[in-house]
Structure 1
Amino acid sequence: MTFVDTFRGQMVATRSSRSLFPAAATGRAAAVSLAPYPTPRPREHTHEHELRIPITLFICVVYAIKVVVDARTRAKLIASNGSEDLIRSLVQAEALQRRHASLRWGILLLAVGLGFALIEAFGWTEITPGVVAVLLGVTGLGNLAAYAASRKLG
């Protein structure tokens, strides 16, 4: 009789091939573990962060370049002795654009959150075309609501 370690898949102990029953009557022996319960397999190292780190780095570099270019543009505009009214209107337009962007992101995230709440309420647990359609639909509705709010405000 052969004992097989189910964790490593190796033979642990063997006995004499002499048995009370002929091999044809008993068939092949099942694998037996010496452990009282199944031993969990060691978790293989997953590379979850291999893709996140370069993407995050790329986003940070692009944002840093955008901030530097915007700052240089403002500095050149001020250094060129542009009219005070032009500079004031640019600063006000930029502030209004930032407020509208915050409003848009707020409405959009609220709509996506409602979409996830709908998915949870209906008990959908798998990604199906219906689930994707709900998320895309609420994203579109959020964009339309943000557009309507920005038109109403200014």
Structure 2
Amino acid sequence: MTSIRAFALRDTESVIALWQSTGLTRSWNNPHLDIQRKLTVQPELFLVAVDADDIVGTVMAGYDGHRGWLYYLASDPARRGQGIGRMLVTAAENALLELGCPKVQLMVRPDNEDVLGFYDSLGYERFQTTATGKRLISD
């Protein structure tokens, strides 16, 4: 039975292995540092899906007072289609709602076209924007 709970430090290596198996890690992001940083800001919005002792999914959420964001949504590739991603998104949305968050957004990399149908099925709307960014700290 899969359940959702807050991330715990003991989950670190399993979470990173899941992110690597789903292609979420990038050479320019250190996942250990991403986890450390998240644990200093709204750690209750870092959720894992667990089946027995196995980490089978993750999502990081954040709320800046204007809108919420979802990051690192992942589910075990061998468990796709079992509703894990949907459970995680719902749990993150509910946690954001409890904080008074009126809107949630996420970014999808251009090479991850397959996931857009999943987000469509959850009621997420596609819109055309250009995302820009600036690195303040090099990992």
TM-score, L = length of structure 2: 0.22
Q: Which has the higher contact order (CA 8 A, sep 6+)?
A: 2
Q: Structure 1 or 2: larger strand share? A: 2
